[in-house]
Amino acid sequence: MPKAKNTNLNKAGINKEDEFYTKITDIERELRYYKHYFKDKTVFCNCDDPETSNFWKYFELQFEELGLKKLVSTHFDPEKPTYKLELMRDIDGDGKITKKDIIKTPLQQNGDFRSPECIEILKEADIIVTNPPFSLYTEYVKQLMDYNKKFVIIGRETVATNKYIFPLIKDGKIWTGYNNGDMEFVVPSYYEPRETRYREENGIKYRSLGNALWLTNLDIPKRHEDYKVYKAYREEDYLKFDYYDAIFVAKLTDIPCDYDGVMGVPITILHHHNPEQFEIVGLLAGNIRGLAGIPSKIDKDGPYVNGKMKFGRILIRNKRLAK
């Protein structure tokens, strides 16, 4: 993502929760699983300052190895027109495609991913790879879906339960990547550590997000690997929800291997979900602010067990046991 002055928040002001900048080690760790998708493709990083972004740096350094057709990134400035960077061919004739072959072109608009100018670039791109602003995440994903784009992007785990995004996951239109969970991001220098998730090293500040998530619609082998379940079902070991015909599963390792009914499991099942193994039936909002926008009211909306509301649960059914 862009630095503080480059966040895509010209209408809402700067949101500190958007200022998380991905480390190149985390980008490399995830994108190594997608390398075969990039050959002869145009990659667009549309939420990055192209001169400092580690996403741009990754693709610039890997341009020839990946066999890219073109790399494009747009700079954002809330107050004035900006520019885009493109890398596509050996311009200086040295036989290699390097940073010396980058073309810098002025933009007439400010580089916001929602601007008509950036949308025109989006239309021409094959794959979008970036860390979009968390506060605009739904709007960002909706744009990608509206233009039928392939993508690999970062978000918070709770976005998976968003009213717009959860149905996409449920219907198998998007899914999680490989390296989900705890991830450390660079944060602006003016951030003041206020919790143990912050640290500083060599003048650089970092914040760890324990619920980071990669989302994609590029098929990956992980998506077809079963989540190993071994526990046998015994009725006395599992409580039922008060208002739903489903058993309450406290943790993923408690998912029974032989139960053919509906189960309410932690949302972290999405890190391991194989659509050939489990059908996602639905979502029960819990006592954590309704899980990113999904209502959680007193009465039948919540995942109550013996009158007590539990944390949100994904409802799944074992497809291989379905009658």
SS3 140: helix
Domains of the chain and any CATH numbers: 4-221 (3.40.50), 225-318 (no CATH)
**Residues forming a β-bridge with 175:** 216
SS3 24: helix
At residue 299, what are phi and psi to the nearest 5 degrees?
105, -135
pTM: 0.87
Of 297 and 126, the one with more pLDDT: 126
Q: At what angle do helices 54-61 and 24-31 cross, to 10 degrees?
A: 50
**Residues forming a β-bridge with 204:** 201
| Residue 24 identity (one-letter amino acid) | I
pLDDT tens-digit series, residues 90-107:
999 999 999 999 999 999
pLDDT band for position 296 (cuts 50, 70, 90): very low
pLDDT attached to residue 309: 81
Average pLDDT over all residues of the chain: 86
**Residues forming a β-bridge with 293:** none
pLDDT tens-digit series, residues 212-237:
899 999 999 999 999 999 999 999 99
